Structure 1
Amino acid sequence: MGRFSTSIAAVALVTGAASQQFDILRHVGGNGQWFPGPEVTGISSETPEGCTVELAGFFSRHGSRYPDRGAYNGWVDLQTRLQASGNLTTSDPSLAFLSTWSPVLSDPAQQIAQISPTGYKELHAMGATWRLRYAHLYDYNTPFTMWANWYASSPRVRDSARLFAQGFIGPNATTLGTIYALNASDPASWMNSLGTSDLCPAYRDSEGAPYTTVWNEKYRPPIRERLNALVTGFSFTDDDVSSIPYLCGFETQIAGRRSPFCDILTEEEVLAYEYAQDLRYWYGAGLGYDIGKSTMLPVLAGFVQRLVDGPNATYTTSSNTTFVPPKVIANFANDGQINQLIAATGIFDNEPSLSANFSDPDRKFRASRIVTMRGTVAFERLSCPSAAATPPQNQTYTASNSTSPNTYIRLLLNDVVYPVANCADGPGSSCSLAKYQSIVQGKMDAVGDFKKMCNATNPAFETRPVATFFRDDTVEQGIPIKP
């Protein structure tokens, strides 16, 4: 079995149809539980022969959760309309359950927006998997530092970090672990948090509009008409069409059994919904939105500098103390920030813009494969002494002396290796770490003045910020919490 097989065994999809050729739960965008992505790039996830992972890190979305208040209110509205119909009948067995359906939450007042038991399972398993995968990067029973977005609306991001720590560190996690929850709305967090867009007034997540609007008007009405032809006593709306796969994903992981909503749509209809999710993330918070694809660049630059500094780096903090950072660099945030970060990495830089009128079945960007619950973008610093790579000529590098021509970086999305555009000539399609730092700096240069980009007026904000929290455990915006 391969190096990543433990993650597949530990966090299997909760579905009776997982063995079938088409599984809707792998096509519901950001609304599905975690699964290891399909190896669409054809690149082995094993460490390239002759190489050693010297540092590893990740940015992960929180684990599977209960719905937010707005989504739950929509479920209640659907139940109310179904009950008000009084006499819903259908000849289609897949719709018969609707006459008695009710939302699966047992205690909404306590559960709304919180991590669900499937989330507990995902995150504990993730911690144990990372501990086994990178055992050489953590000394048993020693202190371990992590970071999370504070996210005032819900503790789910902080709780995800806590659950991961319990799986990674083990029984002594509360004693040994410290999570610095970064308050992204604190002015001290200017481009130095895991929610940088919070202090960027110009940032607006449009949820993909107008592209999603065009696509929704194209794909939803035919589905609505098909479903309404199968029932009497009730009329589906276009919004109901979007709710069906959403409910499939959420109900399955909340209840721990396949939701009947998963059996309503055809494969073609599910793929149309999946594309709506792609448009939502591409244009709402990613590569199709100039500000969205840039807001996490300072964080990426700071993270890459940490990789460049190497596994033996120590730092003097802003409080004049010494910080020895971990060799496994764990960060938790929300789907928007994970999507922003992925847009900044360069993985999809050569991909064509997504069309509002048709979906390309061969597109590389699919939200279902990258921003699922617990969706994770991971980085490895590789040392490959046997590699005879030579940096390209006429390239300016800003890396420190801790790198060499045989030091590389590799990126993985949900455990699948994705090469960086125009930089995949290293072992296992990795990229020279020095060259990658130069690529990131080039993206920073293209933005130039981050204050201007964000229309930020605080005079204390720097125009060219770089995140420092990876090398400073005393930053003002960091709130220490225990696993």
Structure 2
Amino acid sequence: MHISSHFLLLGATAVNAGVVKLRGTSKIPDYFQTSYGPFAGPTEAGSAPFLAQTILAPFGQHSYVPNTPVVTDVPIIGENDGADAFKNMGNLSPYMPNPSGFGVKEYPLPPGTNITQMHMVHRHGSRYPTSSASVATFPDRVAELLGNGTRFTGNLAFLNSWKYQLGKEELTALGRQQLFDSGVLNWFDYGRLYDPSSPLIARTTTQVRMLQSAENFLNGFFGPNWTKNVTLEVLIEETGFKNPLAGDKACPNNDNDRSAAGDWASTQWQEKYLKSATNRFRQSMTGNPNWTIEDTYNAQTMCPYETVGLGYSPFCSLFTREEWLGFEYSIDLSYYGGNGFASPTGRAVGVGYVEELIARLQHHYSQPDEGYTAINETLDTSPTTFPFNQNLYLDFSHDTTIFSMLTALGLTQFGEFLPTSGPPPNRQLVVSHIVPFAGRFNIEVIKAPRPVLARRSEDPQASDYESEGDETTYVHLLMNQRTIPLGRSITECGERDDGWCELQTFIKVQKENIAKAKFEESCFGNYSIPVYGDITTGAI
């Protein structure tokens, strides 16, 4: 049944599966409304950009390169072009396909194979800082210093008249473009999977940036009349509500000191890599201001936020190439310890989506005796809100939840221990490669007429199939348009050149991963606060 184009689907609480009533006058049920409601979260629009006047281009160069659309070719200390720095800004990096891949070859589909399903989870686009972000305190800190008589000189002189112009939480113009562009890209990649005779159910959450992201993606995918093709289901994102697209809201231990080891590790690393920059900044201040490492880190964080919000930031040029690499690693540590395999709730926050994925792949609802505990029992047992007849599944979520989904899927190639002394060589966990702004993963289900060779021939004329065997279905996981080799993390998948995994093997392993999340104990247990490095499995 195709319901009205815009609707809000209200989630069930973790304790009570009842539906919350928001409106009583509309003919459309409350749970099918998409206007911003009481759970949308705080937002504030930022100042309109004025890039034509504020840009300092061409930065001493003889030729002018127009911005596209934000300015990332700023010079950084020791470098003429700082564009690469924007590839090292962790979860604050503007979207890019993974520039280095995940250590596996990229192969085309063998002739005769068909992608029959695609499951996508998409992060929201570039946004303003969240209300709780420490960077939002930076303007007060600058005002405090100026009020105490401090004056900034040299490269910091702009701070004497600098104004904070960022909003809160909602998408920037760049964020809207990222999701629209992704919709267009995914339309080109998967448009034929859409069945016009059966409009889709797509899912997002009640936060404003999540609604904005879903709508811009769907506009790019289907066009401005996307409401004729898809019904948008909106899950309540609020503490106490079970919502696999915001799994932290039903996992109290994810938001207390038990999952804070990543923040501790990040702070330890900041003390090391920003020591020189902090001393450098102090030399550009009059008087004897108490400028701290935290102040320097917040100044560095202003760079990506101002760039995606205003188009250009003078903060970007204050740091060296090595300091930007250090910034990336500070975020890697935070995610590893807070949402990954070093977190006691790393798997639990993402396991609800794993449960849903298994149900969709098996085409039947979750069964209590299979250990399903993190799903929304009300919404995930109704064909209206959780259908199985789709070839495309489009979900929109947050970076931390997506990172936990990958942890819950058992992708141990991101589980290498990250020391606070500095990044290990060739590490796989690079947050900007996994959950930049507008990052996404796509799970393709591929049906082949015979088993596909695990080692494909270099000869383009040779067959990619084994000489005999029956029809075989595979899973192919892409993160930001690059293949993740499932066999590297899941031994049962085997060592394959293409990184694929046989579907039934994948389902079997993921069912086992549900128990490994230890959802109840990890999320609600009264255990001692783990020391960074004590947790290595993503669960208590």
Q: State the match for 2:16 in structure 1.
A: none
Question: Can you give the 5+ residue segments of structure 2 that lack an aligned partner in the other structure?
Answer: 1-67, 365-378, 455-469, 527-540
Superposition pairs for residues 306-345 of structure 1, below 5 Å? 306-309=360-363, 318=381, 323=387, 325-345=389-409
* Contact in 2 for aligned 1:79/1:102 (Cα 8 Å): no
Q: State the match for 1:435 in structure 2.
A: 505
Q: State the match for 2:476 in structure 1.
A: 410
Shift of 1:277: 0.4
Shift of 1:73: 3.7
Q: State the match for 2:523 in structure 1.
A: 454
| Counterpart among 262, 277, 294 of residue 208 in structure 1 | 262
- Residue 417 of structure 2: SS of its match in structure 1? coil
* Contact in 1 for aligned 2:150/2:285 (Cα 8 Å): no
Q: State the match for 1:219 in structure 2.
A: 273
Shift of 1:232: 3.0
Shift of 1:224: 0.7
Query: Cα gap change, 1:324/1:15 in structure 2, threshold over 3 Å: closer, same or farther?
Result: same
C-alpha distance after superposition, 1:373-411 (max 9, x if no partner): 112122111123353469xxxxxxxxxxxxx76211111
| Counterpart among 212, 216, 221 of residue 159 in structure 1 | 212
* Contact in 1 for aligned 2:201/2:387 (Cα 8 Å): no
Normalized against structure 1, the TM-score is what?
A: 0.77
| Counterpart among 89, 94, 119 of residue 57 in structure 1 | 119
Question: Can you give the 5+ residue segments of structure 1 that lack an aligned partner in the other structure?
Answer: 1-10, 106-110, 311-315, 391-403, 458-483
| Counterpart among 270, 273, 276 of residue 330 in structure 2 | 276
- Residue 210 of structure 1: SS of its match in structure 2? helix
* Contact in 2 for aligned 1:61/1:338 (Cα 8 Å): yes
- Residue 356 of structure 1: SS of its match in structure 2? coil
Tell me, in whole angstroms, the C-alpha distance in 2 between the residues paired with 1:172 and 1:142.
16
Tell me if 1:126 matches 2:195. no
Give aligned-pair identity as a percent.
26
- Residue 332 of structure 1: SS of its match in structure 2? strand
Report the AA paired with residue 131 of structure 2: R
Tell me, in whole angstroms, the C-alpha distance in 2 between the residues paired with 1:12 and 1:55.
34
C-alpha distance after superposition, 1:256-310 (max 9, x if no partner): 2x31111111111111121110111110122111322233223213213423449
Tell me, in whole angstroms, the C-alpha distance in 2 between the residues paired with 1:208 and 1:284.
5
Tell me, in whole angstroms, the C-alpha distance in 2 between the residues paired with 1:366 and 1:102.
32
Superposition pairs for residues 171-182 of structure 1, below 5 Å? 171-182=224-235
* Contact in 1 for aligned 2:91/2:432 (Cα 8 Å): yes
Tell me, in whole angstroms, the C-alpha distance in 1 between the residues paired with 2:357 and 2:196.
24
Tell me, in whole angstroms, the C-alpha distance in 1 between the residues paired with 2:380 and 2:422.
51
Report the AA paired with residue 263 of structure 1: S
Query: Cα gap change, 1:89/1:215 in structure 2, threshold over 3 Å: closer, same or farther?
Result: closer
Tell me if 1:288 matches 2:354. no
Q: State the match for 2:12 in structure 1.
A: none
Q: State the match for 2:537 in structure 1.
A: none
Shift of 1:227: 2.1
Tell me, in whole angstroms, the C-alpha distance in 1 between the residues paired with 2:127 and 2:351.
28
Query: Cα gap change, 1:87/1:78 in structure 2, threshold over 3 Å: closer, same or farther?
Result: closer
Query: Cα gap change, 1:320/1:60 in structure 2, threshold over 3 Å: closer, same or farther?
Result: closer
Shift of 1:250: 0.8
Shift of 1:318: 4.5
- Tell me which structure has the larger Cα radius of gyration: 2
Query: Cα gap change, 1:279/1:64 in structure 2, threshold over 3 Å: closer, same or farther?
Result: same
C-alpha distance after superposition, 1:159-186 (max 9, x if no partner): 2111111111112113332111122558
| Counterpart among 156, 159, 167 of residue 98 in structure 1 | 159
Shift of 1:33: 1.9
Tell me, in whole angstroms, the C-alpha distance in 1 between the residues paired with 2:347 and 2:413.
11
Shift of 1:441: 1.7
RMSD: 3.1
Shift of 1:452: 3.4
Query: Cα gap change, 1:319/1:340 in structure 2, threshold over 3 Å: closer, same or farther?
Result: closer
Report the AA paired with residue 101 of structure 2: V
Query: Cα gap change, 1:119/1:350 in structure 2, threshold over 3 Å: closer, same or farther?
Result: closer
C-alpha distance after superposition, 1:63-116 (max 9, x if no partner): 11112234464132144145436663534xx433223221233xxxxx421111
Tell me, in whole angstroms, the C-alpha distance in 2 between the residues paired with 1:335 and 1:163.
18
